[in-house]
Amino acid sequence: MEIGKGLEQGDISAINTLILPGYVIIRKFDAIGKGSIHKSILTLCFELYGKKHAPAKAKCVLAGLMSYSIIGFAVTLVLGAIMMGLGSDTAGLGILGIGSILILVLNYAQYDELSDRVKKRRQEISRQFPNVVSKLALLVTSGMIMDRAWNETAASDNTELYQQMRTTAQELNNLVSPEVAYGNFISRCNTKETAKLASAILQNMSKGNAQVGKLLKEMAKEGWQERRHLAKREAERANSKLMIPTMLLLLAILVMLMVPVAMNFTSL
């Protein structure tokens, strides 16, 4: 739960006190909230949480990174100073060096985790795309208008791409212009497949179902081919990841076999 939302609901437990120093620093120094790191985090949050909640989420992530850095460096300095005060300068310097490296690595890991979630989300959308465009093509070629076909397809499942389609359908029902609604759909999904789909729908809105249906069928065919290629690439990556454990296991077996042989030779 976000801090602001928790406070509005009177839930004090929603506040993560550890990240409050980061909020204070961001408030004191406007340049931090307008820097490249914040922009990068905001872009990722826009995909994960939508336009409405992205600014608050990005600010929360940035505050967390800064707070954990401050707390981590403070603890490292205290421990290092204690060790130096006890006469162990080497241990103190080691704590300072290793602690600083660990803080940087952990901060990067938090950002990388956010980036990894966005990457997995895009992959999920790409995997769902062939099913979506196939349903649209079937409904449109059977005579259903695009708006209704979009709504029917969006309501047929509850995975990520279908949820984004429902958001677009709600915007259209609220009289948002198709250009804006489908443009938001492209931004939220941020994949080449969904961008091509939305662009094709916008470009062919004034044409008949036959033309749009033909384009959807072509996209469905390309989507299934790309999905097969993606599955093949993922299988190859999985095999490459298994290579290292396999080699380590083979090395362990060789060691287990060679050690007794070597011991027998030395005993002769």
State the alpha helices, DSSP H only, in 36-190: 36-85, 89-141, 146-154, 160-173, 178-189
Contact 158, 238 (CB under 8 A): no
DSSP 13: G
Tell me, what's the pLDDT at 152? 92
Q: What is the pLDDT of residues 35-64, one digit of tens each?
A: 788 888 888 888 888 777 888 888 888 888
Q: What is the pLDDT of residues 221-240, one digit of tens each?
A: 888 887 777 667 666 666 66
User: CA 80, CA 57: separation in Å to the nearest integer?
Assistant: 34
Whether the pLDDT of residue 8 is over 70: the answer is no
Contact 3, 60 (CB under 8 A): yes
Contact 216, 132 (CB under 8 A): no
Q: What is the pLDDT of residues 138-147, one digit of tens each?
A: 898 888 888 8
User: CA 135, CA 148: separation in Å to the nearest integer?
Assistant: 12
pLDDT band at 2 (very low <50, low <70, confident <90, very high): very low
Tell me, what's the pLDDT at 206? 65
Tell me, what's the pLDDT at 268? 55
Higher pLDDT, 168 or 237: 168
Query: What angle in degrees, to the nearest 10, is found between the helix axes of 89-141 and 192-203?
Result: 30
Percent of the chain with pLDDT over 70: 82
Higher pLDDT, 20 or 263: 20
The residue whose two tokens read 């997995």 is 120
> Cα dist. 118→21, 172, 182, 192, 244 in Å?
27, 26, 20, 15, 27
Tell me, what's the pLDDT at 168? 93
Q: How much is the mean pLDDT over the chain? A: 81
Tell me, what's the pLDDT at 150? 92
Q: What is the pLDDT of residues 74-105, one digit of tens each?
A: 888 898 888 888 888 888 888 888 888 888 88
Please compute the mean of the pLDDT values over residues 244-266 and round it to a whole number: 70
Contact 184, 211 (CB under 8 A): no
DSSP 19: G
Angle at 260 between CA 256 and CA 263, to 5 degrees: 135
Q: What is the pLDDT of residues 192-211, one digit of tens each?
A: 889 999 988 888 776 666 67
Angle at 240 between CA 238 and CA 244, to 5 degrees: 115
Angle at 263 between CA 257 and CA 268, to 5 degrees: 130
